[in-house]
Amino acid sequence: MRILAIETSCDDTCVAILEASKTGKFSVLANIVASQIEVHKKYGGVYPFMAKREHEKNLGPTLKEAFLKAKISEKDIDLIVVTNGLGLEPCLWVGVNFAKDLAKKINVPLIPVNHIESHILVNFLNRPMDRSTGLLPIFPAVALVVSGGHTQLVLMKKIGSYKILGETRDDAAGECFDKCAKILGLGYPGGPEIAKLAEEALRRPTSQKICDVGRLSLPRPMMFTKDYDFSFSGLKTAVLYSWQKTEKQNGRNFHSSEKSYQLKISMAKEIQQAIIDVLLKKTIKAARDFKAKTIILGGGVSANSELRTQFEEKIKTDTCGFLPYGKKPHKITLLAPKPELSTDNGLMAAITAWFHRGKKISAKNLRADANLRIE
C-alpha cells in the first residue's frame, strides 16, 4: 500500500509518501516539508491567513517534489490521508480541499487524521511489530504532546483509545518559548533560540557566568497541583517583568553590553528549565498514577535535546517505578521520535492513516475541524 499524506495544520506545508506492508513494515519514499519560518519570522508568530496563502502557493510544488523523490506518479497511490484537525482552520481547509480534489481525480480512498494522534503515532514508524497485536506490549501509555499550539497529556490504552488527562489552560509550552524569546529580543521560532543560549550556559564554567542562574529564579506554574493541567502564561509574565526591571536598572546602553548577553544566556537556561521541570513533573505523575508502561513524546518541543535528556535520566531511576501487585518496580520505556519527526511532517499523518486504514470516508463528507479532539 502506498499512502500519500498531506499536512497543513499550521505553517508547514507537508507532503509524504509512505509504502506500507500488511505486517507493518514501512518504507519512506518521500517526506517533503516547505517551511514558512522566513515568512512569519519578522512577526514573531504565525498569522493564519498568511499561512493559508503560503499553503495554497506551496502545496502543488511540494506534491510534485514528493512524486519526483519517490519516483512514482499519481496512479501508484492507493490511499490519500489529510490532517483535518486540530489546527488553524484556514490552513486546515487548504489541505482538506486539496486532498478531496486529488482523491476524486485519481479515484482513491480518503482518510482524515487527528493532528495530536499523528504526533503520538509517528513514534511507531519502523518500531518492532508483533504479528498478533500489531505492536509490542507498551500499553497503557501516557503521551505528552507539546508544541507551539498544544500541550496535552493523553492516556493511551491502545491505538484508537485515548483519554485527555490534562492540557494547558492558557499558553502552550512552545508558545511560551516563542513569547519569552521575543521579550529577550531573540529570533523566531523561540524554542531553538532559547535552547541554543541555554546550551551555552550549561557549557560555561561557573567562573565565567556574570549573571549566575542561582540568583535568577522563575516560577514553575501549576507544577505541584494535583491535576494534570498546565499553565505557562505566568512564566511568560515573570520573564517580561524581570527583563523590564533589568532594562530599567541598567539604562539605555544595556542592550549593547556584554552584561545584556550574559543575562540572556542565564534567563534562557532558567526559562528552558522551568518549562522542562513542569512537563517532567506532570508527565511522571500521570505515568505513576495510571501505571503506564511507556511515556511517549511528540510535538515540536519534544525535539528539545535537554528535555529528552532529562526524561531519559528520570526514567532510569526508581522514581518512575511503581509496585503493581506486590512486584518489584519496573522501568518505564520512553518513546520519542527523531527530532526531524517531532515537528509537523507528512509521515506522521501517513502512519496514523495506516493504523486507521479501515476508516475511509467519502470526500463530500470530509470537513476541517480546528477544535477536533483526540478522545
Residue 374, in any domain of the structure = no
Q: Are 107 and 169 in the same domain? A: no
Peptide bond into 189 cis (omega under 30): yes
Q: Are 82 and 160 in the same domain? A: no
Q: Are 155 and 263 in the same domain? A: yes
Number of helical H runs and strand E runs in the chain: 11, 10
Q: How far apart are alpha carbons 256 and 252 in whole angstroms?
A: 9
Residue 371, in any domain of the structure = no
DSSP string, 306-356: HHHHHHHHHHTSGGG---GGGPPP-PPEEE---HHHHSS-HHHHHHHHHHT
Q: Are 158 and 286 in the same domain? A: yes
Q: Are 329 and 353 in the same domain? A: no
Q: Are 83 and 188 in the same domain? A: no
Question: Is the predicted pLDDT of residue 345 greater than 70, yes or no?
Answer: yes
Residue 370, in any domain of the structure = no
Q: How far apart are alpha carbons 83 and 368 in whole angstroms?
A: 8
Which are the contacts of 83, defined by CB distance < 8 A and separation ≥ 6?
6, 7, 8, 9, 92, 95, 112, 113, 114, 115, 118, 349
Q: Are 320 and 186 in the same domain? A: yes
Residue 254, in any domain of the structure = yes
Residue 136, in any domain of the structure = no
Q: Are 192 and 295 in the same domain? A: yes
Mean pLDDT of 147-156: 94
Q: Are 207 and 347 in the same domain? A: no
Residue 373, in any domain of the structure = no
Residue 242, in any domain of the structure = yes
Q: Are 111 and 259 in the same domain? A: no
Q: Are 233 and 216 in the same domain? A: yes
Q: pLDDT at position 255, please? A: 63
Q: What is the mean pLDDT of the chain?
A: 89
Number of domains the chain is built from:
2
% of the chain at pLDDT higher than 70: 88
Residue 135, in any domain of the structure = no
Structural domain boundaries enclosing 360: 2-125+338-365
> 110 is written with which cell numbers?
480518503
Q: Are 233 and 314 in the same domain? A: yes
User: 59 in helix, strand or coil?
Assistant: helix
Q: Is the overall model pTM greater than 0.85, yes or no?
A: yes
| pLDDT tens for each residue of 350-374 | 999 999 999 988 888 899 999 999 9
C-alpha closest to that of 113 among 160, 152, 147, 74? 160
Mean pLDDT of 27-49: 91
| pLDDT tens for each residue of 74-132 | 999 999 999 999 999 999 999 999 999 999 999 999 999 999 999 999 999 867 555 44
| pLDDT tens for each residue of 178-188 | 999 999 999 99
Q: Which long-range contacts (CB under 8 A, 24 or more apart) does 64-68 make?
A: 65/15, 65/30, 65/32, 66/4, 66/15, 66/16, 66/17, 66/30, 66/31, 66/32, 66/346, 67/17, 67/30
| Residue 68's CATH number | 3.30.420.40
| pLDDT tens for each residue of 248-259 | 877 666 666 677
Other residues' Cβ atoms within 10 Å of the Cβ of residue 79:
21
